[in-house]
Amino acid sequence: MRRMPANEWLDDPEIQAQIRARSVRNGILRSAILWTPFFVAASGALLFFLFDQVIDGGRGTIFLVIVLAVLSTLFGFQSVQAILDLFGEPKTLRGAVLRRWSKMDSLVMKTHYLRIEKTILRGDMDLIGGVNAGDIVEVRFYRHSAVVVGLKTIEKAPEPAAKPSRIPFRQRK
């Protein structure tokens, strides 16, 4: 009887997909836990100072109300997206990749993006690293935060024809 190495089960694609899906969901949960208290605090302060502004009519809190309204909108956008995805299921989309790119979102983190039809999705390099523009893919993602959970390449794009080498100009004598 052959003994299996201790971590061989980690090489199973189905287990890897489940681990990746749990990791993405945990990231959405972290986002909800991070942004929701800020949203609630900013919204509460906005309501308090807006009520104060309406009752007293003082001019000193107008600027504060505007700043709190902007902060509530920004924090609320992040919080509501995460909460909606926590209570929703991933959506599946099948189509051609129109563009693939990456950018530095912060000093230490590089985020990778895919555009399929009109949808822009983000994911990690392990998941979307082998995908190129023109590939036909099936993607599972959370609709509101646009985070890729799973990706399956249906058809690879044809390789571009090799460019002819340039013939150097003749030098005049």
Q: DSSP labels for 78-140? A: HHHHHHHHHHS--EEEEEEEEEEEEEESSSS-EEEEEEETTEEEEE-HHHHTT--TT-EEEEE
pLDDT tens per residue across span 56-92: 776 667 888 999 999 999 999 999 999 999 999 999 9
Considering the domain architecture, whether residues 66 and 51 belong to the same structural domain is answered as: yes
Considering the domain architecture, whether residues 47 and 28 belong to the same structural domain is answered as: yes
CA distance 50 to 44: 10
Last residue of a domain, one of 68, 87, 106: 87
Considering the domain architecture, whether residues 65 and 115 belong to the same structural domain is answered as: no
At residue 36, does pLDDT exceed 90?
Answer: yes
Considering the domain architecture, whether residues 67 and 19 belong to the same structural domain is answered as: yes
Domain housing 121: 91-155
Considering the domain architecture, whether residues 75 and 99 belong to the same structural domain is answered as: no
CATH value at residue 118: 2.40.50.140
Beta-carbon contacts of residue 64 (< 8 Å; ≥ 6 apart): 49
Q: How far is CA 92 from the centre of its chain?
A: 15
Task: Say if 77 falls within a structural domain.
Answer: yes
Considering the domain architecture, whether residues 52 and 103 belong to the same structural domain is answered as: no
Considering the domain architecture, whether residues 21 and 44 belong to the same structural domain is answered as: yes
Phi/psi of residue 108, nearest 5 degrees: -120, -5
Task: Say if 163 falls within a structural domain.
Answer: no
Q: How many folded domains does the chain comprise?
A: 2
Contact between 21 and 144 under an 8 Å Cβ cutoff? The reply is no
Burial (CB count within 10 angstroms: exposed 0-12, middle 13-18, buried 19+), residue 100: middle
Task: Say if 164 falls within a structural domain.
Answer: no
Considering the domain architecture, whether residues 17 and 83 belong to the same structural domain is answered as: yes
Structure tokens belonging to residue 113: 């993006």
Considering the domain architecture, whether residues 66 and 102 belong to the same structural domain is answered as: no
At residue 7, does pLDDT exceed 90?
Answer: no
Q: Which range scores top for mean pLDDT: 3-17, 21-35, 154-168? A: 21-35
Structure tokens belonging to residue 120: 């822009």
At residue 141, does pLDDT exceed 90?
Answer: yes
Q: What is the mean pLDDT of residues 92-110?
A: 86
Considering the domain architecture, whether residues 80 and 99 belong to the same structural domain is answered as: no
Task: Say if 166 falls within a structural domain.
Answer: no
Considering the domain architecture, whether residues 82 and 17 belong to the same structural domain is answered as: yes
Last residue of a domain, one of 60, 87, 114: 87
Last residue of a domain, one of 87, 119, 136: 87
Choose the weakest-confidence range: 1-5, 22-26, 91-95, 142-146: 1-5
Considering the domain architecture, whether residues 26 and 78 belong to the same structural domain is answered as: yes
